[in-house]
Amino acid sequence: MISVENLCFSYNGDGKAALADINLSVEDGAYLALVGPNGCGKTTLIQHLNALILPERGKVIVDGMATDDPRNRREIRRRVGMVFQNPDNQIVGTTVEEDIAFGPGNLGLPPHEIKRRVEDALEATGIRNLAERDPNSLSGGEKRLVAVAGVLAMKPRYIALDEPTSYLDPAGKRRLLAVIKKLNEEGLTVIHVTHNMNDVVQADKVVVMLEGRIFKAGTPKMIFSDPETLVRSGLGIPGALEILQGLRGRGWNVRTDLLTTEEACEEIAACLKREGVTR
């Protein structure tokens, strides 16, 4: 488990809190979505989870190891893999296969183990067909999958993804989200940072941050049960829920506690059927 206890942090020691009194736990196998507007502290928080940033006050503990103990950092960074917002910042190989092998190679693993890990990572992310490609020739979505594969090859227990679907087209978003969900179902703990509320509906737990603090936490349905408060706080709601609320406001007898596009389509179809509307 990852445990964050009374975490406080400010940049440049200027006293302005980037994070203030953060208490959070991430249990083994969880899918945690961390959401909030730009500048609320999401990235700063996840960079504490693998000791890229150290607490000013408070503690971050990964599987019993405190991040502020330098003896723990190598193992913590192996266990908590990080996928940065810009995949170009962590792609170093001249081919996809070479890039994925970079991390295991730095662990000093034997060649046969590196090869096995690369093959497993290519398979897990569905990019085996890209193995010989130059990463610089790939689309944004493909580069993000390469970055995920590179982290997977390190055999982490947790993976933290910083805005992984930003600037992707709808098809790229769906593909990447499907890979993330599949990895979680196979046992990998996921911490997914996003400001896109459509991305969080597949999470087990959502943590909403505002101005460096935790504003709300709960299941997706709990978080979106009070959409007015979220909107007033400068946050959005999933598109499916927005459509259902709009229809409800126009007199349609539809549920407004559904979050996915599939659920919304089924509910609208059922409503039309109840009203006797046919094609």
Residue 86, both tokens: 């810009």
Between strands 2-10 and 17-26, the pairing is antiparallel
C-alpha distance across the termini of the chain, in Å: 52
Residue among 171, 117, 161, 163 at smallest CA distance from 139: 171
C-alpha Rg value of the chain to the nearest Å: 20
Burial of 244 (0-12, 13-18, 19+ CB in 10 A): buried
Q: Give me the helices (H) in the chain, please.
A: 42-49, 73-79, 96-106, 111-125, 140-152, 170-185, 220-223, 227-232, 239-249, 261-274
Q: Please, what are the domains in the chain?
A: 2-234 (3.40.50.300), 238-279 (no CATH)
State pTM to two decimals: 0.86
Q: Kindly report, residue by residue over 79-95, the tens digit of the pLDDT.
A: 999 999 888 888 898 99
Q: 10-residue block means of pLDDT along the chain (279 residues)?
A: 95 81 95 91 95 95 96 93 90 93 91 95 92 92 92 94 87 88 93 89 92 92 83 80 88 86 88 72
